[in-house]
Amino acid sequence: MRRNCTSLQEKLVKEESEKTAAAESLLKEREARLNFERSQSTLQEDLGRAQRELQSANQKISSLNDMYKRLQDYITSLQQYNGKLHSELSTVENELKRVEKEKATVLESLTMLKGQLTLSMASQEEATKQKDALASEVTSLRVELQHARDDRDHQLSQAQTLTSELEKSKDSTEKSCSELNKLTLRTNELEAKCALQDERIKVLQEQLTTAEEKLQVCDISASETRIEYEGQQKLVHELQRRLADAENKVIEGEKLRKELHNNILELKGNIRVFCRVRPLLPDEGSSTEGKIISYPTSMEASGRGIELTQNGQKHSFTYDKVFAPDASQEEVFIEISQLVQSALDGYKVCIFAYGQTGSGKTYTMMGRPGHPEEKGLIPRSLEQIFQTKQSQQPQGWKYEMQVSMLEIYNETIRDLLSTNKSSSEGTPTRVENGTPGKQYTIKHDANGNTHVSDLTVVDVQSVKEVAFLLNQAANSRSVGKTQMNEQSSRSHFVFTLRLYGVNESTDQQAQGILNLIDLAGSERLSRSGSTGDRLKETQAINKSLSSLSDVIFALAKKEDHIPFRNSKLTYLLQPCLGGDSKTLMFVNISPDQASAGESLCSLRFASRVNACEIGTPRCHTSGRPVESRLTYF
């Protein structure tokens, strides 16, 4: 019984496994059946769709055939009209022959010639009008034929993909194509006949001219000249209108190209580069043998290309924008206004000016004091930001703004807004007015933000407050006189505006930063003639700019180690050169021939900067509260 029980248990296990296998096969068969039914329904839908498309194609082909018939009827009417024109021309020729026979008698010939002249002129004008109408009709017929050909080709391409039955319709369309060729030949014949009619009309015009000279009737020729002049005037006005439309289209296309170019640069993460050429100074014009700066006139390089000639060799460069010496401060600001707007939208924005000393960097950034029409980028940017702040208040946005300004002088950070004028990094033990000098350090956090310790940060509410602070910083900034520049900036100036916006209706928050930097100018000791303190300043400036060049080279080569710490300037600019900031560099150059070498070095450096990829800009917005203390960069 145990053996029987064991055998029965084994049989039971086998039967259960077979039952499980049978159930699984049954499920697979059901799934296969469902898939088959689904595929059958999709095939039926595809078949119905193909039949409907076939019917629509047949209808379009029938409409094409109707159009071909109408074209044939129209050509027949043109031929009839042409025959009528021939008959009228023959009557005119007979009248002219009759005029020549009746010239013998003076009084009768004059009377007959006047009447026949009037009739011939009217018939000539009518024939000319009929000729022009016929030419316009032939042109419209060609256009209609071209449209018919395009429609036919489109229908053929669709018919070939549907079914083999449409091959028959293809044959019919080929026949219609041959008919179209015949129609084209007929139109060419009509054009030839029109040319013959033109020649006959010219002969008639010569005969009428001789009759006019004998009869001394000059009014008719004057009226013809007047009509022709009016026609030419209309043609000139039409061409001017077309030229204006074409220029508008070119301007719109240029705007679209700029927008797309900016979008591409933002996606690529490249540093944008604008080039600005300052005008020649009065003392430079007499010593200049020839112009070393030129601008390409091609469509691709217009407004973006610049060429510098040195020792007979021409060097070409292309940037995002090139400003000629006649460009105004307003034109320059318009190009960067959208970038300034990005700071209000929650982006980190950095704009800095680079170039040799005396090339116009400070003028570009600050402008000329006492001349409102020559305000620089910093004052204009602040005006735009405060205007936008006012315009966004009805939408629920409220902004807090903080300003800080510093300079890097001889690798030393100076706070330009500090009430203690002695405060600087390099004099921690110096005491002036009872207050020890401060030591400023640069720190970067894990989020890519930069802090400068103990730096004065001022809350601002209006443009006037910022203008007062700018004037205070300008008076505190280090400047000096060299042989190349009467008022040479001897330090790197950094202006920072930190914005914190809250939308009370949507609970949105945006944190943006605008950094505007006026770098000290590079200069050669042989030209600047610096000695003593000026020599140390020049060496410190050139060293920091050389460190900036090393950083740019490392970024361009995508090296693992970027030497940001080689100078205070590069370490402070690290978020702008290697972070998620929108960065723009102005390269300012001098058109003076004596500065051709420095200008060429600046342009080459700007090209390397333009090729650097620093990462895609990131918008700092959120729907939750963030710290009210804003970061530096």
Beta-bridge mates of residue 241: none
**CA–CA separation, 351 and 192 (whole Å):** 68
- Taking alpha carbons only, the member of 274, 265, 315 closest to residue 294 is 315
Alpha helices (H) in 163-218, listed in sequence order: 166-215
Which residue is it, tokens 């129609």? 183
Output the known binding site: 355-362
Q: Using only C-alpha atoms, what is the Rg of the chain?
A: 42
- Taking alpha carbons only, the member of 428, 422, 421, 425 closest to residue 408 is 425
Q: Which residues contact 440 (CB under 8 A, 6 or more apart)?
A: 406, 413, 415, 424, 425, 452, 453, 454, 455
Which residue is it, tokens 């936008």? 388
**CA–CA separation, 279 and 277 (whole Å):** 7
Output the known binding site for ATP: 355-362
In a 3-state reduction of DSSP, which class is residue 404? strand
Q: Which residues contact 414 (CB under 8 A, 6 or more apart)?
A: 406, 407, 408, 423, 424, 425, 476, 478, 491
Q: Which residues contact 629 (CB under 8 A, 6 or more apart)?
A: none
Task: Using the CB atoms, write b or e for 321-341: b if 16+ within 10 Å.
Answer: bbbeeebebeebbebbeebbb
Token code pair at residue 271: 């540093």
In a 3-state reduction of DSSP, which class is residue 15? helix
Q: Is the dihedral of CA 523, 527, 528, 530 positive or negative?
A: positive
